[in-house]
Structure 1
Amino acid sequence: MSRARDSSIDTIQRELTAFARRARAAAARLHPELPFVSYTLLSHIHDQQGCRATDLASHYMLDKSTVSRQVSALEKLGLIERRADPADHRVQVLHPTTAGSAALASTHASRRAAYQERLADWPAEDLDRFADYLLRYNSAAEGPGQH
């Protein structure tokens, strides 16, 4: 690997780490009683229109006990509920409650406004390119050798 490539990889790693830290901090400010992990799980449950806790653990590569604690916290906040799976009544499927969907909508609107403000000076071509790069980067993580 060339030095220029190594330097670029180091910069990407450093900047993605900084990005993740800022994202966590922003999430905490936008919805203080909903930690970043809980927000992420609630968002996934909403996007999937319901899912099992084991699916969350698998998707995010989290320990089942971690997911269980987060799910319990979301239930206590009244943001999700368990429903029996129509195909197998032994299985519980997690669904957002009306309050959960409202919390997501509010947080999403705030996050969108923050991104719009931060990216206001970017030309459309740069936004398109950045979006494409993020899609490409994240799709590579869904294949073999996930990191």
Structure 2
Amino acid sequence: MRKGLARVDEQPGGRENAAQDLERELSKLFGRARSLSMTFASRVHTGLDAASYALLLHLSDISPVRASDVVERTGLDKSTVSRQIARLEELDLIERVPDPSDGRARLVQLTVTGATRLAEVRSDRRARLRTQLGTWSTEDIQEFSRLLGKLNLDL
């Protein structure tokens, strides 16, 4: 530390001010993320809402999977997951298939249509993000990703 400069957490109110700044910026980020999610959801399917889009994204990373596992992995209420799965199935974005390890159970997975539409939107989303972060260094992007990961673990 350079002489004469106190660390933020050593300054009066420094940690509280930092927490308030973080809260304000997260609020802005979450609002923008919701708006973008609604835009991307409608591009996957005009009848898709932001919450079901988020579940579709999650399913694309973990499927095929039992609905009960989705509840466990997401921490969402069973009725919420059930309702969203039914909606995604109604929109032909996911399907239920037999579980090869238990013939009585069913797994949910993306349909070909769901996977194709989602891949297109994700590709566009990544391109947009690369453009928006065009002035950021690779190291800054990696550090931001690391810190977001740390925050996600702590929440």
Common topology (TM > 0.5): yes
Asked if 1:92 corresponds to 2:106, the answer is yes
Equivalent in the alignment of 1:40 = 54
Q: CA–CA distance in 2 between the matches of 1:43 and 1:29?
A: 14
Q: CA–CA distance in 2 between the matches of 1:131 and 1:139?
A: 12
Matches within 5 A, 1:59-138: 59-138=73-152
Report the 3-state secondary structure (helix = DSSP H, G, I; strand = E; otherwise coil) of the residue aligned with 1:84: strand
Q: CA deviation at 1:105?
A: 0.4
Pick one of 1, 15, 27 that aligns with 1:5.
Answer: 15
Structure 2 residue runs without a partner (length 5+): 1-8
Report the 3-state secondary structure (helix = DSSP H, G, I; strand = E; otherwise coil) of the residue aligned with 1:78: coil
**Structure 2 length-normalised TM:** 0.82
**Structure 1 length-normalised TM:** 0.86
Equivalent in the alignment of 1:23 = 33
CA RMSD of superposed structures (Å): 1.7
Report the 3-state secondary structure (helix = DSSP H, G, I; strand = E; otherwise coil) of the residue aligned with 1:121: coil
Give the residue type in structure 2 aligned to 1:12: L
Give the residue type in structure 2 aligned to 1:24: R
Write out per-residue CA displacement over residues 48-100 of structure 1, whole angstroms, 9 at most, x where no aligned residue. 13111122222222111111111111001100000111111222110100011
Write out per-residue CA displacement over residues 14-46 of structure 1, whole angstroms, 9 at most, x where no aligned residue. 212221221111121123132222122112222
Q: Which moved more, 1:96-105 or 1:31-40?
A: 31-40
Q: Which of the pair has more CA radius of gyration? A: 2
Pick one of 24, 27, 47 that aligns with 1:14.
Answer: 24
Q: CA deviation at 1:124?
A: 2.0
Report the 3-state secondary structure (helix = DSSP H, G, I; strand = E; otherwise coil) of the residue aligned with 2:125: helix
Structure 1 residue runs without a partner (length 5+): 142-147
Identity %: 36
Give the residue type in structure 2 aligned to 1:25: S
Report the 3-state secondary structure (helix = DSSP H, G, I; strand = E; otherwise coil) of the residue aligned with 2:63: coil
